[in-house]
Amino acid sequence: MSILAVTHLSLTLQDQHILKNISLSVEEGDVVGLIGPNGSGKTTLFNVLSGFLVPTHGSVHFRGQDITGFSPSKRAHMGIGRVFQNFGIFREMTLEENVLVALEALPAEQRKALGNLKEVVQGTLEMVGLSGHAKKKAGSLSGGQMRLLEIARTLKSGKELFLLDEPTAGVAPKMTHQVGDLISELKRDRKTVLIIEHDLPFISRVCDRVIVLNVGEVVLDGKPSEVKQHRKLQEIYFGADPTS
């Protein structure tokens, strides 16, 4: 069974058809890239998957359960984690507090199963090399460090499906590799990851599959090597070749 199944999903906002009849499924442990030009509906699709928007038509199933009308917090408790393009960290809280609040937001049973939360916090920060900054405010970190903190926090709070919205945006090139390595670690742990990204080499490196959105529709779906060579992708990004 797919971990995530989207069926005939459409979203209309103020008479604009933002998403049009999107159907896709994602298997557990897959790392899937979601690409497309600006305005193609990628982040809107993430907003629907994470519960911030309710679709006009269609449904979203997570582990076989219809979650279409569920709130973001309920989806989080089920195991869906979101990493935001504009850094979803709490800048005026310390790094420790950023991780701790994520653990405290878990349902009581999951929280108890983690044991000593302070040790989990310490372990999380050590995992991404930020334990030396535990008492610093998160807003003082670099873009790359913020991203590592956000992904690690989501991972340690027991999420199974990760929605990463442009994880390399605002990240220095030398730290992009670290973010990629962390995503590879997620894959090794059989976590499922959906990534919105404009950095195609990055997508090729970390993803098993790429879905291309254009004007709210899925236009391509396949392996990165296949999608990269596809004529449609060139047309979407560079326009149709008049000689062809």
Partner 1 sequence: MQLLVNALIAGSLAALLSAGLSLVYGVLGVFNLALGQFALTGGYVTWWLHVSIGLPLPVSILGGVIVAAIVTWIAFEVSVAPFYRRHVFLPLVTTIAFSMILDALILLLFQERPYSIIAVKHSLHFAGVYISVEQIFLIAFTIVFLCAVAWVLHSTSLGRKIRATVQHSDAARSLGISSALLHRSVFIASGILAALGGIYLGIDQNLTPQLGFPLTIKAYAALIAGGKDNFWGTIVCAYLIALLEQLAIGLPWWGGDYIAAGFQSVVALLFIIVVLLLKPRGLFSGLRRAI
Q: Which residues bind partner 1 (CB under 8 A)?
A: 50-52, 71-73, 75-77, 80-82, 84, 88-93, 97, 100-102, 104-107, 139, 153-154, 157
DSSP 110-176: HHHHT--HHHHHHHHHHHTT-GGGTTSBGGGS-HHHHHHHHHHHHHHTT-SEEEEESTTTT--HHHH
Q: Please, what is the minimum distance in Å from the beta carbon of residue 167 to partner 1?
A: 14
Closest CB to partner 1 among residues 82, 191: 82
Q: For the CB of residue 230, give the shortest distance to partner 1 in the complex, in Å.
A: 33
Which of helix, strand or coil describes residue 70? coil
Query: Which is nearest to 179 in space by CA: 210, 206, 216, 219?
Result: 206
31 versus 76: smaller Cβ distance to partner 1 = 76
CB of 111 to partner 1, least distance (A): 10
Please state, in angstroms and as integers, the Cα–Cα distance from residue 118 to each residue in 19, 27, 127, 188, 232, following that order.
42, 33, 14, 25, 50
Smallest separation, CB 97 to partner 1 (Å): 6
Cα–Cα distance list, 142 to 89, 133, 191, 239 (Å): 12, 12, 26, 36
Of residues 101 and 219, the one with the C-beta less far from partner 1: 101
Shortest spacing between CB 89 and partner 1, in angstroms: 7
The residue among 49 and 220 lying less far from partner 1, judged by its C-beta, is 49
DSSP β-bridge partners for residue 220: 212
- Give whichever of 76 and 211 is closer to partner 1, judged by the CB atom: 76
The minimum distance between CB 179 and partner 1, in angstroms, equals 17
DSSP for 8-47, written as a single string: EEEEEETTEEEEEEEEEEE-TT-EEEEE-STTSSHHHHHH
34 vs 233, beta carbon nearer partner 1: 34
Write the DSSP symbol of residue 180: H
